[in-house]
Amino acid sequence: MDMQGDIERLMFFEHARKAAEATYIKNPLDGDNLLRWGGALLELSQFQNPTASKQMLLGGDSD
């Protein structure tokens, strides 16, 4: 994939992660939202080194 595509993909999944996080605050029991959040984290982890990926998926990444 080209660099522009990677940047667009990164921005898309970062936005999805933030939206899911905001939805979680309103309704923490929404299973569909939790799946979206997890999916976004998995995609974002692909842009990190292995140690940072594992930390992100375990919940150590917070803004």
Q: What is the mean pLDDT of each run of 10 residues along the chain (63 residues)?
A: 84 96 97 96 87 75 54
Q: How far apart are CA 11 and CA 4, in angstroms?
A: 11
pLDDT of residue 22: 98
Report which secondary-structure segment, H or E, holds 17.
Answer: helix 3-26
Between helix 31-45 and helix 3-26 the angle, nearest 10°, is: 150
Q: Give CA–CA dist 39/11, Å, rounded.
A: 14
From the number of C-beta atoms within 10 Å of its C-beta (0-12, 13-18, 19+), residue 20 rates as buried
pLDDT of residue 59: 76
- Report the pLDDT value the prediction gives residue 9, as an integer from 0 to 100: 93
